[in-house]
């Protein structure tokens, strides 16, 4: 039998997380992980019972008062976890794989109408796919699985067996959850979709069309740049057209494979379609060629199940009032963590941001959010967001190198990719969307307005072809509004000093 909090006051650190205060005891998921020695990534937020009579945060720890202390039993800590921490499917799934069914049946039968016991009953059967030896509930109000005060919920589907409303935001084979944080609530309250529509509504259609074309190309180029690639302009344009069609075609495994084929110009050295071997992101040891993974991809035999689950979750949530940016987070980051292809995963991952936002109606029609361009500006934060998922999971994946210097995973890992907390990723994506709406879009429209004014001035001042005027303005933009030595001596050597001064002065007037 598991023992809870024995000598826990002697603990100075928990699974690499910060030091607990003296006299504190573990509570909820942290106590369950410790007591049952669960091999799962540790939740971002941990709970403990402190000695002070006030609740407060201590690094990663939410400290509760002694009066919140749960009974030192499995049910006591499970109840505490569900009440104060919400649903952690990774921890619960790992727990349910090692405790016996009759242990949970005893808990449920001790409180047959209890809301927490019925939640645990539903979660066991939902996660395990096995029925407990308990007759259907006939009493008790329907209660939601996910507490909407703690986490974002999906559309409620009644389960009459436990008299439960299943509002999990996903399917059995793919169900990340996102915690409600002050930051995410602030972003949602900003109604960024409405703000984007308002910005666009004040823009002349011709100007909007030009802005859309530029932003489409900018996003496509940035998505390649994030991968460290500088492909020919034709490939950038081709991928840009695909991004422009995001949200118009139904998401499926075949569609994802089609997108990969668009990205890969030369498939002689790459096996297109779902991987048939292991995969990882990282480097190889210089001398031996041994893999040095920063991220290990899902096993090839799990890919169809995981992607079917991901697409099922997308179809479930897109029909509900689930926030568009949160949906984009779950689907796009979930995809890149699974990493189903040998190549092209990153660009499809960022395409999925566009797909979800477009299909949910977040993005004004005819416009693509240049999210990749904003991500490129925040590349270090982006990498840390990816590492936030990948790094902790490396400790729970056993692998060996193959003859091709790839990785072969030696045990079952599917649960690492279908049950995770996507809060950190949601906060990052929302920050990028906020910058896109409040800065990138207005700045681009404003630039085009000023460009047109300067273009008109130059044409009225000097008889110059359109292409040369465009080149002149680009040169000025690249050189802080001044003619470079090269421009003076080559392309615009025929301009007089007076003309050059007048154009520079007008550029400063418009662009500052």
Assign 368 to helix, strand or coil: coil
Indicate the pLDDT class of residue 90, thresholds 50, 70 and 90.
very high
- 449's tokens: 């307005």
CA 239, 245, 247: angle at the middle one, nearest 5?
A: 125
Average pLDDT over residues 330-350: 96
Tokens 């909407």 belong to residue? 148
Long-range pairs of 111-118 with CB within 8 A, sequence gap ≥ 24? 112/137, 112/139, 113/137, 113/139, 113/140, 114/140, 115/140, 115/143, 116/78, 116/79, 116/82, 116/83, 117/75, 118/143, 118/162, 118/163, 118/164
Average pLDDT over residues 70-86: 96
Of the chain, the end-to-end C-alpha distance in Å amounts to 72
Chain mean position to CA 197: 24
- Write the pLDDT tens digit of every residue in 437-450: 888 888 888 888 88
Say how far apart CA 19 and CA 502 lie, in whole Å. 65
The per-residue DSSP string of 147-178 comes to -TTTB-----EEETTTTEEE--SSBTTB--B-
| Strand 25-27 with 164-166, pairing | unpaired
Tokens 């399917």 belong to residue? 171
Judged against a pLDDT cut of 90, whether residue 281 lies above it is answered with yes
CATH, domain 191-435, list 3.20.130.10, 3.60.21.10, 1.10.150.120, 1.10.3290.10: 1.10.3290.10
- 269's tokens: 């050295």
Judged against a pLDDT cut of 90, whether residue 208 lies above it is answered with no
- 483's tokens: 């003619």
Say how far apart CA 128 and CA 142 lie, in whole Å. 22
Q: What is the CA radius of gyration of the chain?
A: 27
Assign 260 to helix, strand or coil: helix
Q: Which residues contact 174 (CB under 8 A, 6 or more apart)?
A: 306, 309, 310, 312, 313, 334, 418
Say how far apart CA 345 and CA 332 lie, in whole Å. 10
Average pLDDT over residues 198-215: 73
DSSP 295: E
Indicate the pLDDT class of residue 240, thresholds 50, 70 and 90.
confident
- 97's tokens: 């794989």
Say how far apart CA 72 and CA 91 lie, in whole Å. 18
Indicate the pLDDT class of residue 122, thresholds 50, 70 and 90.
very high
Say how far apart CA 395 and CA 382 lie, in whole Å. 22
**Residue 11: its pLDDT value, please?**
57
Judged against a pLDDT cut of 60, whether residue 69 lies above it is answered with yes
Report which of 325, 297, 332 is spatially closest to residue 311, judged by C-alpha positions. Answer: 332
Alpha-carbon distances of 504 from 334, 497, 500, rounded to whole Å: 49, 10, 6
Q: Buried b / exposed e across 224-237, counting CB within 10 Å, b at 16+?
A: bbbeeeebeeebbe
Q: Which residues pair with 48 in a beta bridge?
A: 26, 63
- Write the pLDDT tens digit of every residue in 407-464: 999 999 999 999 999 999 999 999 999 998 888 888 888 888 888 888 899 889 898 8
Judged against a pLDDT cut of 80, whether residue 287 lies above it is answered with yes
Q: Which residues contact 229 (CB under 8 A, 6 or more apart)?
A: none
Do residues 18 and 58 lie in contact, with contact meaning Cβ atoms separated by under 8 Å? yes
Say how far apart CA 328 and CA 22 lie, in whole Å. 42
**Residue 1: its pLDDT value, please?**
59
Indicate the pLDDT class of residue 9, thresholds 50, 70 and 90.
very low
- 321's tokens: 């009032």
Report which of 219, 210, 201 is spatially closest to residue 436, judged by C-alpha positions. Answer: 219
Say how far apart CA 218 and CA 101 lie, in whole Å. 55
Domain ranges of the chain: 8-99, 191-435, 462-511
């Amino acid at each position: 039998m598991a023992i809870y909090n024995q000598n826990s006051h002697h603990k100075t650190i928990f699974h690499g997380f910060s030091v607990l205060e003296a006299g504190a005891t573990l509570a909820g998921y942290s106590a369950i992980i410790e007591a049952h020695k669960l091999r799962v990534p540790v939740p971002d937020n941990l709970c403990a019972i402190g000695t002070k009579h006030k609740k407060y945060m201590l690094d990663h720890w939410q400290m509760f008062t002694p009066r919140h202390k749960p009974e030192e039993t499995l049910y006591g800590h499970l109840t505490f976890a569900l009440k104060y921490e919400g649903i952690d499917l990774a921890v619960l799934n790992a727990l349910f794989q090692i405790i016996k069914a009759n242990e949970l049946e005893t808990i449920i039968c001790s409180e047959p109408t209890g809301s927490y016991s019925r939640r645990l009953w539903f979660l066991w059967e939902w996660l395990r796919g096995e029925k407990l030896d308990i007759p259907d509930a006939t009493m008790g109000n329907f209660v939601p699985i996910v507490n909407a005060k703690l986490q974002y919920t999906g559309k409620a589907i009644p389960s009459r067996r436990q008299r439960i409303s299943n509002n999990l935001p996903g399917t059995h084979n793919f169900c990340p959850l996102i915690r409600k944080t002050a930051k995410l609530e602030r972003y949602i309250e900003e109604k960024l979709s409405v703000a984007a529509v308002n910005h666009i509504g004040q823009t002349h259609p011709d100007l909007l069309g030009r802005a859309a074309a530029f932003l489409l190309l900018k996003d496509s180029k940035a998505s390649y740049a994030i991968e460290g690639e500088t492909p020919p302009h034709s490939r950038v344009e081709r991928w840009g057209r695909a991004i422009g069609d995001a949200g118009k075609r139904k998401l499926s495994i075949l569609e994802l494979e089609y997108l990969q084929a668009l990205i890969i110009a030369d498939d002689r050295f790459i096996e297109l379609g779902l991987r048939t071997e292991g995969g990882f992101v990282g480097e190889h040891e210089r001398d031996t060629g041994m893999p040095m993974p920063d991220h290990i991809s899902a096993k090839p035999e799990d890919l169809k199940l995981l992607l079917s689950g991901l697409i099922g979750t997308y179809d479930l949530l897109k029909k509900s009032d689930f926030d568009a940016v949160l949906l984009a987070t779950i689907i796009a980051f979930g995809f890149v963590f699974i990493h189903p292809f040998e190549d092209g995963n990153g660009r499809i991952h960022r395409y999925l941001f566009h797909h979800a936002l477009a299909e949910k109606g977040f993005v004004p029609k005819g416009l693509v959010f240049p999210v990749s361009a904003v991500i490129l500006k925040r590349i270090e934060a982006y990498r840390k967001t990816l590492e936030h998922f990948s790094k902790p999971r490396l400790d729970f994946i056993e692998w060996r190198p193959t003859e091709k210097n790839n990785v072969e995973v030696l045990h079952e890992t599917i649960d690492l990719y279908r049950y995770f907390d996507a809060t950190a990723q949601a906060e990052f994506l929302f920050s990028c969307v906020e910058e896109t709406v409040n800065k990138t879009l207005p700045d681009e429209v404003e630039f085009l307005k000023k460009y047109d004014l300067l273009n008109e001035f130059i044409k009225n001042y000097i008889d110059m072809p359109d292409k040369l005027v465009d080149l002149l303005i680009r040169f000025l933009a690249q050189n802080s509004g001044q003619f470079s030595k090269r421009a003076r001596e080559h392309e615009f050597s025929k301009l007089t000093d007076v003309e050059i001064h007048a154009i520079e002065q007008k550029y400063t007037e418009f662009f500052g």
